[in-house]
């Protein structure tokens, strides 16, 4: 069986997004995230991979160390559900503060997804991308992955923008439970 993954945006998808999150003590998982990730990994053998733009680093608002601490805190909170993120990839650059070359990793670019595919030998045809922004959905589409727009974070505004551009995700989820149920039903032919 080939390796499959659920690619995940971080802020606004897995955890509340207060904007440029740098304090690990402010990390709050969104409802159902722990339970759903636990099922996806432990029952259905998905790799869980975060693909995140962290332009706050380039903007000087947060440090690389703070991003790493927040990532660690997410995995600490997920331990309660007997699950962890396999790898956090993030792009620290922003076009206003960085070169075009540096920004090549920014979603909707597929560069971080490609790194994960190489590192974990992932079959994208059996994988999914869950996110709350147009960059997430476009990244998934660019990589040929089924996309799920989640209506947490910026999801509601994003849906309107994507519809105007005729870029429709494979599924629109009200919350993380909804997203997880879609994946389980879609790929495994079983109802959640």
Residue 17 annotated as catalytic: no
Cβ atoms of residues 150 and 158 within 8 Å: no
Residue 9 annotated as catalytic: yes
CB-count burial class (<10 Å; 0-12, 13-18, 19+) for 75: middle
Tokens of 117: 């595919």
Identify the active-site residue in 9, 17, 132, 136: 9
CB-count burial class (<10 Å; 0-12, 13-18, 19+) for 190: exposed
Q: Could you give the 3-state DSSP secondary structure of residue 63? A: coil
Identify the active-site residue in 11, 17, 132, 136: 11
Q: At 65, give phi and psi (nearest 5°).
A: -60, -40
Cβ atoms of residues 122 and 128 within 8 Å: no
Active site residues: 9, 11
């Amino acid at each position: 069986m080939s390796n499959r993954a659920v690619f995940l945006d971080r802020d606004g998808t897995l955890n509340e997004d207060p904007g440029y999150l740098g304090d690990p003590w402010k990390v709050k998982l969104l409802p159902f995230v722990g339970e759903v990730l636990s099922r996806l990994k432990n029952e259905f053998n998905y790799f869980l991979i975060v693909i995140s733009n962290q332009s706050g680093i380039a903007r000087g608002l947060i440090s690389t160390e703070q991003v790493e601490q927040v990532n660690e805190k997410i995995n600490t909170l997920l331990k309660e559900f007997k699950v962890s993120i396999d790898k956090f990839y993030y792009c620290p650059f922003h076009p206003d503060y960085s070169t075009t070359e540096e920004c090549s990793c920014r979603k909707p670019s597929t560069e971080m997804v490609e790194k994960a595919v190489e590192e974990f030998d992932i079959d994208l045809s059996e994988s999914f991308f869950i996110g709350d922004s147009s960059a997430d959905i476009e990244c998934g589409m660019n990589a040929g992955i089924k996309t799920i727009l989640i209506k947490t974070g910026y999801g509601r505004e994003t849906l309107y923008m994507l519809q105007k551009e005729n870029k429709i995700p494979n599924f629109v989820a009200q919350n993380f439970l909804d997203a997880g149920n879609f994946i389980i039903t879609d790929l495994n032919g079983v109802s959640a």
